Structure 1
Amino acid sequence: MPTDCISYQKSGYFSKLITDYLDKKPELEQLYNHFPTIENFENQVEEKGKNFNSNEKREVLVDILENQYSKIEISELTKQNITLLKDTKTFTITTGHQLNLFTGPLYFLYKIISTINLCKELKINYPKYNFVPIYWMATEDHDFEEINHFNFKDKKFRWNKESKGPVGRLSIEDLTTFFDVFKTELGSSNNAEYLKKLFSYSYLQHSNLADATRFLANELFGEYGLVILDGDSAALKKQFTPYVKDELLYQNSNKKVLESIAKLKDYSIQVNPREINLFYIEDNLRERIIHENGNFKVNNTTIEFSEIEILNLVETNPEKFSPNVILRPLYQEVILPNLAYIGGGGEIAYWLELKAMFDFHKVTFPILLVRNSVVLINEKQETKRAKLDISWEELFLKQQTLVDTKTKQFSEININFSEQKAHLKKQFEALHKIALKTDKSFSGAVNAQEKKQIKGLENLEKRLLKAEKKAHTSQLERIVQLQNELFPNESLQERKSNFSEFYLETGNSLIAELIKELKPLSECFSTVKI
């Protein structure tokens, strides 16, 4: 494995809010509970244990999980983890993700592996407790356009279908044609045949997207004890009804999140709360609930409730109420004995808006951990990198900066004209002194001449750099080609490529190697050779 450690802060791929969070800037301390260090989990366990002390909640959770898993075969470790959730000494580490077709981008794997590996690390450090990795499926999300495709070898494979309701309930009966197209791209190797079977068993033998995604994630990670949870459950939402009623009647989440946003005035805001942060859902409908003229209306429909009617519906049919991005984290933490949430930079950014809301509701705020980020590199690419004598720190540079940097390294000429600029400015200092003794027009002429000559040196510097690039074209092109392979479209590989592209080359060793190499508390971009 390449040993270069590129910190998230220096990678150039994280927002100022996240880099300041990782740097533990004092002004952000009030927006989270405990910073993610192994030592801080001791206090988190104590706090969550006091806050989540309902055996009934644990019994309901286990019953729901056993029911959701009833139609698929699961590993002994996953069975054991589900049973352990009844024990008051068992806690969860959770990540969440949309139901992207065939997992979507690579970082789906990294989220789950970060979660699995953190549980292992916690068990070593706190052996008297149990830690269960949870993948929370975003089954109630309705943004189908975000999940209906994936990229494979620079080609986008899109599932063309209409969807308006919660995606977990979406029928997948029409994916046969999609599969026929995709499987022709896979070839006929042993790894290709496995991927075909995995897609077929996941999507062609289940009736909805939630069941398909559960089967797929279980096939990939079941042996590591992953527990997959679908929050679209009447029994689980029954536990959340007090918070739903508070949202409908008093809109406290809006007030509290706005308080936190006011403290984030120096940063870009990830999400903004609504007056009511709930959706009304049915199989083919997920629309916002709006309070208007004393009644509660479902946006873009004729559905309307009085206050008494909607509060009765919360009691009788809690499954019809779906939390949005603001309330979903609270729902998760109410029903799970959870210690930490693992997510990407964007997710952690919006979680940092939520602590005041959690404090108001007296629900323990989880530790927030930025998931592992990875660049996968094969043997051929690693050999090329070594021959080109290019470091990982350089590969993370923007391409233009990378090319300029390497050109200056290759050149036998000093392309930096800083010394000449400094000498020129010193010469003009004497002229400025003379200008002080005469009229303003001469002073203006001196300033103009200085700017003109500095600009002239800068242009010469650019022309020299351009000439040296031509002289080293061949070597620079190989560097650019390597960077394009590892950072497609000058973006992160993990945001563009699907796992199948790499599984085709490596087989089962892909996930095994990631499990072996990723360190969830490292705050480092991992570079993993496959």
Structure 2
Amino acid sequence: MNCNTTQLPYIATGYFSKIATDYLQQAPSLRPFYQYEPTLQGIQEAIKDRQQLPLHRSLLSASLQKQYSAVTTTEAVQKNIALLQQDNTFTITTAHQPAIFTGHLYFIYKILHTIKLAARLKQDLPQYEFVPVFWMGSEDADLDELGNIWLSGDKLVWDTQQTGAVGRMNTKGLEAIIHRIEGELSVQPHGQELVQLLKDCYGNSPDIQTATFKLLNALFADYGLIVILPDNAELKRIMQPVFEDDLFNQTASGIVEKTIGRLGEQYKVQANPRAINLFYLEGNIRERIEKQGNEWTVVGTDIRFTAETLKKELEEHPERFSPNVILRGIYQETLLPNIAFIGGGGETSYWLELKDLMQHYKVSYPVLVLRNSFLIVEEKWEDKIHKLGFGLADFFQNEQQLLTALVTRHSNGHLKLENELLAAEQLYKQLREKAGHIDETLLPHIEALEIKTLKPIQELEKKMLRAEKKKYEQEQHQINTIKAALFPAGGLQERIENFLPYYALWGKAFIDCVYKSSLTLEQEFVILQQK
């Protein structure tokens, strides 16, 4: 399998938010909201600062040893777990919820970006060790987002009535989706291998968290990726002081609101804090905690706490307290010897809200790296694009722009009335000069005549273009077909499609291809041509 790539600036794609592109361009307006630039120098500064803060290496290593005892993994993973105990080892981290069958393609991309950056830093800074980490957001309860995938244009939805944290849900009902996947993809060269992998991971696991852990271990253990399951009582105990402060003093909301007040003057705010930024997590319940008078209640339930019983609950069962987006990063950065976080545009946006909060709690703030984005173009689509006379990057334009470019090119410019418009403009320029010498009050009348003259010519040009476009129905159909294939539902491919069809076709060579094509700190969009 051969992979060729073309790179272009994110801003040139038209698919990324202003805050994301401004961050990539290091806009001065965003500089107060992050600590380090996403450069090698920024990485070195983050390492220096991280070494000055408390670490939990023994706790982390012991927890991972216990977690990985349940699966067969690689020497690369075992080595990285051991390396985490060394003072010169740091992590590069990405995070995501346990979407079934990995959800969207960007799930895979962000992991491979994390692995690639860790490998590059080991070469550039050989005095240190770097371990790639995936932090699983298994406490998320958004089943509508996590419980479906798209396959061949169809949305396959997990039929389950379970509630609470998705990671804790059992896998019953997913066999129906696996059966559909098998029927569609088993005929591909690696289809049977893929289906068996899904059956092994989801059919032999008690919950989604475990199934996702097994799947990621199978796909990425050869690269040494460490998967962390933070829904863990022993690990959460390190967060007791922060959780208690949030429950009783609501400190976080006040700090983040001030940051949002400044950031929101120019950008859309990604995440808003609540007075209390914790959920209560027990059984099939994951609901917000609110303070009402002198009591704390779990929304939608009969569970209530006094100050005394709440402190006791936190002390005895820290695993029952689940941080929302405002506090999750603090948990991650407290536990890990982390120096960089790789996330999408939305994640980068909400991390920009957290610098002051992390400084308050004396927690390290990582280098923020926007995750890699890819457009996968199979050879058949590339051939069709070139036959139409376009380059791959051209197809980030909309259908009408593409058709206009094609028609204009084929008509050799005969549809453009630029010369006629220029001649008319020159005529009225001369009239203004003559009239100006006679009576300046005539100038408004001449300007009005010019507008009346130019507008019909401009409208005629548009009509000529529309009439010519009708002659290109076949080309228009081809453009629409290509756009629908590469930009499903009018958006980026990586936000709709799943990795399954590509793996069924190429096997692990697909993962290797994306890895080899992944950038590290270059921060550009990549068009990946598969041959």
Pair in the same fold by TM > 0.5: yes
Q: Which deviations, in whole Å up to 9, do the C-alpha atoms of 1:510-529 show, x marking residues without a partner?
A: 00111111112121111222
Query: C-alpha displacement at 1:169, in angstroms?
Result: 0.7
Provide the rounded CA distance (Å) in 2 between the counterparts of 1:13 and 1:449.
42
Q: Which residue of 2 aligns with 1:244?
A: 243
Q: Which residue of 1 aligns with 2:73?
A: 74
Provide the rounded CA distance (Å) in 2 between the counterparts of 1:35 and 1:126.
17
Tell me the TM-score normalised to structure 2 length: 0.94
Query: C-alpha displacement at 1:334, in angstroms?
Result: 0.7
Q: Which residue of 1 aligns with 2:150?
A: 151
Query: Is the CA contact (8 Å cut-off) linking 1:259 and 1:356 kept in structure 2?
Result: no
Provide the rounded CA distance (Å) in 1 between the counterparts of 2:474 and 2:462.
20
Aligned amino acid, residue 393 of structure 2? E
1:44-63 equivalent positions in 2, closer than 5 A: 44-52=46-54, 54=55, 57-63=56-62
Aligned amino acid, residue 463 of structure 1? K
1:110-509 equivalent positions in 2, closer than 5 A: 110-264=109-263, 265-418=265-418, 420-425=420-425, 427-428=427-428, 430=431, 438=441, 443=444, 449-509=449-509
Query: C-alpha displacement at 1:476, in angstroms?
Result: 3.9
The secondary structure found in structure 2 opposite 1:72 is coil
Tell me the TM-score normalised to structure 1 length: 0.94
Listed as ranges, the gaps of 5+ residues in structure 1 are: none
Q: Which residue of 1 aligns with 2:107?
A: 108
Query: Is the CA contact (8 Å cut-off) linking 2:74 and 2:222 kept in structure 1?
Result: yes
Provide the rounded CA distance (Å) in 2 between the counterparts of 1:462 and 1:337.
61
Provide the rounded CA distance (Å) in 2 between the counterparts of 1:86 and 1:188.
46
Query: C-alpha displacement at 1:258, in angstroms?
Result: 1.4
Is 1:22 aligned to residue 24 of structure 2? yes
Change (3 A) 1:308 1:452: farther
Q: Which residue of 2 aligns with 1:37?
A: 39
Query: C-alpha displacement at 1:448, in angstroms?
Result: 5.6
Q: Which deviations, in whole Å up to 9, do the C-alpha atoms of 1:134-180 show, x marking residues without a partner?
A: 11111000001101111111121111112321111101133223322
Which deviates further from its counterpart, 330-339 or 297-306?
Answer: 297-306
The secondary structure found in structure 2 opposite 1:160 is coil
Q: Which deviations, in whole Å up to 9, do the C-alpha atoms of 1:180-219 show, x marking residues without a partner?
A: 2332122334411011101101111111000000001111
Q: Which deviations, in whole Å up to 9, do the C-alpha atoms of 1:93-139 show, x marking residues without a partner?
A: 11111111111111111000000000000000111111111111110
The secondary structure found in structure 2 opposite 1:4 is strand
Query: Is the CA contact (8 Å cut-off) linking 1:377 and 1:486 kept in structure 2?
Result: yes
Provide the rounded CA distance (Å) in 1 between the counterparts of 2:282 and 2:161.
15
Aligned amino acid, residue 33 of structure 2? L
Listed as ranges, the gaps of 5+ residues in structure 2 are: none
Provide the rounded CA distance (Å) in 2 between the counterparts of 1:414 and 1:236.
70
Aligned amino acid, residue 31 of structure 1? F
Query: Is the CA contact (8 Å cut-off) linking 2:382 and 2:392 kept in structure 1?
Result: no
Provide the rounded CA distance (Å) in 1 between the counterparts of 2:111 and 2:141.
22
Which deviates further from its counterpart, 243-252 or 178-187?
Answer: 178-187
Q: Which deviations, in whole Å up to 9, do the C-alpha atoms of 1:485-510 show, x marking residues without a partner?
A: 22222211111111111122222210
Provide the rounded CA distance (Å) in 2 between the counterparts of 1:453 and 1:282.
74
Provide the rounded CA distance (Å) in 2 between the counterparts of 1:240 and 1:427.
77
Change (3 A) 1:205 1:463: same
Change (3 A) 1:306 1:416: farther
Change (3 A) 1:174 1:471: closer
Identity of aligned residues (%): 36
Aligned amino acid, residue 125 of structure 1? D
Query: Is the CA contact (8 Å cut-off) linking 1:431 and 1:446 kept in structure 2?
Result: yes
Which deviates further from its counterpart, 513-522 or 179-188?
Answer: 179-188
Change (3 A) 1:418 1:245: farther
Provide the rounded CA distance (Å) in 1 between the counterparts of 2:476 and 2:460.
21
Query: C-alpha displacement at 1:46, in angstroms?
Result: 0.8
Aligned amino acid, residue 501 of structure 1? P
* Corresponding residue to 2:10 among 8, 14, 17: 8
